[in-house]
Amino acid sequence: MNETDLAPGLYIVATPIGNLGDLSPRAAHILSHAGVIAVEDSRVTAGLLRHIGIKRPMTPYHDHNAEGVRPGLIARMATEAVALVSDAGTPLISDPGFKLVRDARAAGHLVVTIPGPCAAVAALTLAGLPTDRFLFVGFLPPKAGARAAAIAEVAGIRATLVLYESGPRLAATLAALAEGLGDREAAVTREITKRFEEAVTGTLTSLAARYADAPPKGEIVVVVAPPGDPEAASDADADTALAEALTRLSTGQAASEVAKKLGLDRKALYARALEMKG
């Protein structure tokens, strides 16, 4: 085996999310010497390979064919290097691939990751929001009811939220987030690493209004601030907010509204609301 040969196994290769100059030398080396590259769309990966001046065998691997293709790829890993790429960014992050990794390990094959660009992480660096703890949500469901339920599941998590969205659905998603989380600070990032990269910040409500009649183009990542610091709102603040909410809403609804608004525990607010009504 010479120095350019790769050991048999699976190589998970991160690729650029926009600027082709972000492909690492190591990633280029792996792609240049892999026996086969498993791709989402061969047309997209072919463009990347042209950029680094190579041609390699490619085979489609995506949500629609993964079950049928996976056994063959696992078998090939016994004797050759199989590279896995997505159309952009790090494979497995909101893309198929975890079952391929799992089965490769179960078969005793080498599994190597070649890290690089990831839109979710890049957006965090642009948003100017807390990064010490974050949750990647992926794409929210398109239907309103399912989307609201998904938002409710993460409403109380004390972490910055990161999600992907398309331009036509962006305003509706921002409005749903404001309804379900309260009017938190947020950032809408798009076209990261490309010519028209931008990060627009504001509250969820203001951002929803901004994009209501002007859906943006390009790849979009939304970053939402975590709930407010529980110590930031005093007992007096909570009581004032509860008293006002109770003039309009039921006890449970008032507790939910104030919990979202002030970033406080709903159960504690519900108990306090019952005391106030009593």
Say how many Å lie between the first and final Cα of the chain, rounded: 81
Angle at alpha carbon of residue 172, lines to 170 and 178, rounded to 5°: 100
pLDDT computed for residue 1 by the predictor: 39
Residues with pLDDT less than 50, the chain: 1-3, 230-231
Question: Can you tell me the distance from the alpha carbon of 170 to that of 93, in angstroms, rounded to the nearest whole number?
Answer: 20
pLDDT computed for residue 233 by the predictor: 56
Question: Can you tell me the distance from the alpha carbon of 96 to that of 67, in angstroms, rounded to the nearest whole number?
Answer: 11
| Residue count of the chain | 278
For the purposes of burial, counting CB atoms within 10 Å of the CB of 210, is it exposed (0-12), middle (13-18) or buried (19 or more)? middle
Question: Can you tell me the distance from the alpha carbon of 221 to that of 162, in angstroms, rounded to the nearest whole number?
Answer: 7
Among residues 265, 227, 230, 231, the alpha carbon closest in space to that of 129 is found at 227
In one-letter notation, the amino acid at residue 216 is: P
pLDDT computed for residue 197 by the predictor: 95
Secondary structure (3-state) at 182: coil
Among residues 61, 54, 48, the alpha carbon closest in space to that of 14 is found at 48
Question: Can you tell me the distance from the alpha carbon of 6 to that of 225, in angstroms, rounded to the nearest whole number?
Answer: 43
- Tokens 């909570």 sit at which residue? 238
- Tens of pLDDT, residue by residue over 216-250, are 998 899 999 998 754 455 677 788 889 999 999 99
pLDDT computed for residue 94 by the predictor: 87
Provide the CATH topology of domain 124-224. Answer: 3.30.950
The pTM of this model reads: 0.80
Thinking of the domain 9-117, which architecture would CATH place it in? 3-Layer(aba) Sandwich (3.40)
Tokens of 52: 């680094």
| Residue boundaries of the structural domains of the chain | 9-117, 124-224, 230-277
Within 10 angstroms of residue 211's Cβ, the number of other Cβ atoms is 21
pLDDT computed for residue 62 by the predictor: 93
Question: Can you tell me the distance from the alpha carbon of 249 to that of 261, in angstroms, rounded to the nearest whole number?
Answer: 15
